[in-house]
Chain A
Amino acid sequence: MILISHHLSTYLILGVFLLIAGIYGLIQHKSFIGMLVSTELILNGAGVNFMAFNRFLAPDPAVGQVITLFIMGIAAAEAAIVVSFILAVFRKYHSIDPDEVDELHG
């Protein structure tokens, strides 16, 4: 009997699922906060991948944990910055819909 939690592929597929859920949400959400949340899903997918390779393939188990902690720090900084961006945008445009913030006509 092979345990499914002892397989590298299980974790990699879970990471892929988080990545595609993030991509789907990033395109489909109609507000900046929804897009920020989807970005967090993508970052978590990367973290799961790093931890899986760390557990099954890496010679030193500290490396993947260091990278995952680094990703967590980046995500925290990014969330703080983006939320303050959203506040500034809301104050100017009174909306957090990306379609309405189009002064540059991009």
Chain B
Amino acid sequence: MTFYQGIAEGLFFAFVILVVLGSLITIRAKMLMKTVLGLAVALLGVAGIYFYLGSMFLTLMQILVYIGAICIVMIFGIMVGYTPTEVAEKSIKDWRNKFLAVSSAVTAFLLILVCVLKTHWVPAVAGNRDFSAVHLGHEFLYTYCLAFELISVILLIAIVGAIILARGGGAKTAVDLPAEKKISAVREEKGETSV
């Protein structure tokens, strides 16, 4: 192992530790703000893992999209939604939930670990080893065009739906609006049944 390989391994372990620490903060923190900050740390570690898996583009997208956008959206949700002290006390509440969480997590971990270690993974015949963003963009716009279009449509629908949900609150009916009230008042004066 050369000197540079040693540095690379050390960095890899640093990223793994970031992922593990961030996940532990995420699932153990009592304050919701710390939960989201722990998520940001874990996602930074995952970005480093993507770098070691050969994709510089995905590393940057992970930092941009996850840490830059999703975490900020969650922090907005926290700031608008609640007062921190009330949730802090009951974030880790009863032993039944904790028992369920630990047992299901340990069971899933052991089952999948056995699958991972017992399986003999066979690599495919090496064809193209081009990890560049140019190749990725070419594949996105030609072979996987449907995925590309689908994601844009999904994002559009999600944004419009989010605006409608967050603005209206779901409680208003047409009668509550001022213009509709006027119309129904005029109709009642004339003796018509309101809609």
Binding site for B on A (CB under 8 A): 1, 3-5, 8-9, 11-14, 16-21, 23-25, 27-31, 33-34, 36-38, 40-41, 44, 47-48, 51-52, 54-63, 65-66, 68-70, 72-81, 83-88, 90-92, 95-97
Contact = CB atoms under 8 A, between A and B. Distances in A.
A48 to B, nearest CB: 6
B3 interface: no
A27 to B, nearest CB: 4
Interface residues of B, number: 95
Interface in B21-43: 23-24, 26-27, 32, 35-36, 39, 42-43
A86 B61 CA distance: 26
Q: Identify which of B12, B78, B87, B143 gathers the most chain A CB atoms within 10 Å of its CB.
A: B87
Given A29-B91, A76-B70, A13 B100 contact: no
Contact of B144 (A59, A66, A77, A84): A66
Contact of A44 (B46, B81, B108, B143): B46
Which label, helix, strand, loop or mixed, suits the secondary structure of the A interface?
Answer: helix
19 contacts: A3-B5, A21-B23, A21-B24, A29-B35, A30-B97, A31-B82, A36-B74, A37-B35, A37-B36, A37-B39, A60-B128, A61-B131, A62-B128, A65-B58, A76-B70, A86-B77, A88-B165, A92-B170, A96-B82
